[in-house]
A and B are shown apart, each in its own frame.
Chain A
Amino acid sequence: QQQVKQSPQSLIVQKGGISIINCAYENTAFDYFPWYQQFPGKGPALLIAIRPDVSEKKEGRFTISFNKSAKQFSLHIMDSQPGDSATYFCAATPFNTGNQFYFGTGTSLTVIP
């Protein structure tokens, strides 16, 4: 059973546009929601993360929006750049327990120059 559902599977955006990736979860024990960025041939790297005590977190061009009641969260990439082309994974876990992360299925983002 997929604990975290992610969409879309792939996304093509023009340079300067906004990329939006959505995730949904069911387990209310989850309270830490990171996004990982993975370039070809590399391991996933933490991009940004949020806890459910806030509805939004912004770091540079990357923003997480979190809707606790809907159990949904999304990644927004503003002013998308070709260098942002990568696969993005959302994840969820109970915070600070050392438990496993449950990953979404990934979104392949291509930013066209």
Chain B
Amino acid sequence: DTAVSQTPKYLVTQMGNDKSIKCEQNLGHDTMYWYKQDSKKFLKIMFSYNNKELIINETVPNRFSPKSPDKAHLNLHINSLELGDSAVYFCASSQGSPTYFGPGTRLTVT
């Protein structure tokens, strides 16, 4: 059983487009996150949601908008994609500690 799942796994798109990444967790966790991993593999948190409420919003362009329709889902919508948005995006969830990560979505903006 997949604990944290993301779709799609790969996303190739052109600059200026709008795209979404979906995330679901079946662990019953209260907190979900989006992390960005750049080409140097540095992991940086973007957003954190607890019970559908935004609790962490790091310095991220407002082109990125998370949406949590329910406790088990946290989707990431990105407007007006830029070349610099190319990265691997990980969804994660936790109930306290530790954090469980999804398999990642590799976004390539051309």
Interface residues of A (CB under 8 A from B): 32, 34, 36, 38, 41-46, 49, 87, 89, 93, 95-101, 103, 105-106, 108
How many contacting A-B pairs (Cβ < 8 A)?
A: 61
Asked whether B97 lies within 8 Å of A42 as measured between CB atoms, the reply is no
Asked whether A49 lies within 8 Å of B98 as measured between CB atoms, the reply is yes
Q: Which of B12-20, B43-51, B62-70, B73-81 contacts A (4 or more CB under 8 A)?
A: B43-51
How many whole Å from B44's CB to the nearest CB in chain A? 8
Give the distance in Å from the alpha carbon of A108 to the alpha carbon of B42 in the complex: 12
Interface of B is mostly: strand
Say whether, besides A49-B98, A93-B97, A100 and B56 are in contact (CB < 8 Å). yes
A32 cross-chain contacts in B, Cβ below 8 A: 97-98
Within 8 A of A (CB), among B70-110: 90, 92, 94-104
Give the distance in Å from the alpha carbon of A89 to the alpha carbon of B41 in the complex: 10
A103 cross-chain contacts in B, Cβ below 8 A: 42-44
How many whole Å from B5's CB to the nearest CB in chain A? 10
Interface size, chain B (Cβ < 8 Å):
27
25 pairs, CB–CB < 8 Å, chain A vs chain B? A32-B97, A32-B98, A36-B101, A41-B103, A41-B104, A43-B4, A43-B90, A43-B103, A43-B104, A44-B101, A46-B100, A49-B97, A96-B97, A98-B31, A98-B50, A98-B55, A98-B94, A98-B95, A99-B56, A100-B56, A101-B45, A103-B43, A105-B40, A105-B42, A106-B41
Asked whether B97 lies within 8 Å of A95 as measured between CB atoms, the reply is yes
Cβ-closest chain A residue relative to B94: A98
Cβ-closest chain A residue relative to B95: A98
